[in-house]
Amino acid sequence: MSKNFKTLRQAFVYAKKNISKKKWNWMSCGSEREYTTNENLNYFKKFKIKQKILQDVSRIKTEKLFLGKKIKFPMLIAPMGYMAQFHKHGEKGLALGAFKSNTFMCLSAVSSFKINEITKNEKKLNLIYQFYSLKPRGWVKGELRKISKMGVKAICITTDSPVRSIKYDIIEDKHDARKYGWMGLPRPPLQHMSKLTWSDISWLRKQTKIPIIIKGVMNVEDAKKSFKHGANMIWVSNHGGRTLESGISSLEALIKIRKKFKKKLIIFDGGIRTGSDMFKALCLGADYVCIGRPAIWGLILNGSNGVSQILNLFYQEFRSIMGLSGCNDIKKISKNYLTK
Ligand SMILES: Cc1cc2nc3c(=O)[nH]c(=O)nc-3n(C[C@H](O)[C@H](O)[C@H](O)COP(=O)(O)O)c2cc1C
């Protein structure tokens, strides 16, 4: 089966053919009837891109600073766990793919590999480190000491999964993702996830100077609380529709949150599948966007090179959309490029 893909659509088709149905379902599915997952994808259709003609787009600037580093264009890779089931290098492949494309990857709290295994051969990877649980305190302090030495650039606390969601595909398929990987035992203390509160964020803020990102912010009140409790950035996300079912799309949440917070840094994910989706998310207020599932398609097809190729295809599409819309500088992207 061919693994050599030339478009994002082809990556989807080939990846699906190159992996078992159960693994594909595990990765693609959302909770219950997948209304949220589909809402994420469909909400992009509400917006149309306006074309401004005669703008000199012979040079298009897409570079942007993220955590002090210049990245080629503002796309990062979202945290996703149990990746060893898709490729033997699992999260290492995602991290290296991001690094090769000069961007960042957020390492999942339930990664198939420990961070020291991931950074063993490549010390300079651009990593964000995700926590689901901030207890027991001793364990968190140990993790903070470890990741500071490894040059992790930010910490991400995922807050949208306090309890397990019901994903029909995974239950019906009896698919246990945990049996792949976890070379790096022991597992993180996930039994404390449901106890996470705002006071844990305040506690964490006092423990470290590493930037803190709160992931899973879906409304203005929680955005306000995130900044009040010391977050440097928020990450608007509904976990790709894999946690709360029947919520609003993350794009709709982004619009509402950006309206209230004009200057704060916002990462966005949920449903980005093309360069035009990315352009719309930036127009609607995202400073940076993340991809989840599409990065796994690349991982399935060709490990870190496949991940890098996915990022490259997004880059080409995004750059093309910028040029066609008449926008020659990422700094000029605004909601003026959109209409309903
Ligand atoms: C297979 C899979 C595993 C995921 N694992 C995690 C995780 O460990 N931690 C986390 O914060 N989010 C996790 N997520 C959510 C992603 O970080 C991200 O929010 C979501 O995939 C973005 O939506 P998209 O897949 O439509 O791009 C996971 C998503 C998928 C698809």
Q: 48 CA to middle of ligand 1, Å?
A: 27
The DSSP H or E segment spanning 70 is strand 69-71
Question: Over the chain, what is the mean pLDDT?
Answer: 96
**Domain membership flag for residue 136:** yes
Instruction: Quote the Cα angle for 75-81-87, to 5°.
Output: 85
Count the domains in the chain: 1
> What pLDDT, in 10s, does the model give residues 197-237?
999 999 999 999 999 999 999 999 999 999 999 999 999 99
| Residue to probe by mutation, ligand 1, list 239, 254, 278, 291, most atoms within 8 Å of CB | 239
pLDDT exceeds cutoff 70 at 63: yes
Q: For residues 25 and 169, is the Cβ–Cβ distance under 8 A?
A: yes
pLDDT range class, residue 125, cuts 50, 70, 90: very high
Percentage, residues of the chain above pLDDT 90: 91
* CATH at 213: 3.20.20.70
* Omega cis (within 30) before 188: no
| Residue to probe by mutation, ligand 1, list 22, 80, 129, 277, most atoms within 8 Å of CB | 80
Rounded CA-CA distance 326/56 in Å is 8
Q: For residues 23 and 86, is the Cβ–Cβ distance under 8 A?
A: yes
pLDDT value of residue 185:
53
pLDDT exceeds cutoff 60 at 311: yes
Strand-strand pairing, 127-131 and 105-107: parallel
Rounded CA-CA distance 265/107 in Å is 20
pLDDT value of residue 10:
98
Comparing 22-26, 146-150, 178-182, the range with the smallest average pLDDT is 178-182
Q: What is the pTM of this model?
A: 0.98
Better-scored residue on pLDDT, 182 or 59: 59
**Domain membership flag for residue 3:** no
pLDDT exceeds cutoff 70 at 20: yes
**Domain membership flag for residue 132:** yes
pLDDT range class, residue 186, cuts 50, 70, 90: low
pLDDT exceeds cutoff 70 at 182: no
Verify whether ligand 1 is closer than 6 Å to residue 188 (CB atom): no
Verify whether ligand 1 is closer than 6 Å to residue 196 (CB atom): no
Range(s) of the domain holding residue 189: 8-339
Average pLDDT over residues 69-89: 97
**Domain membership flag for residue 1:** no
pLDDT exceeds cutoff 90 at 289: yes
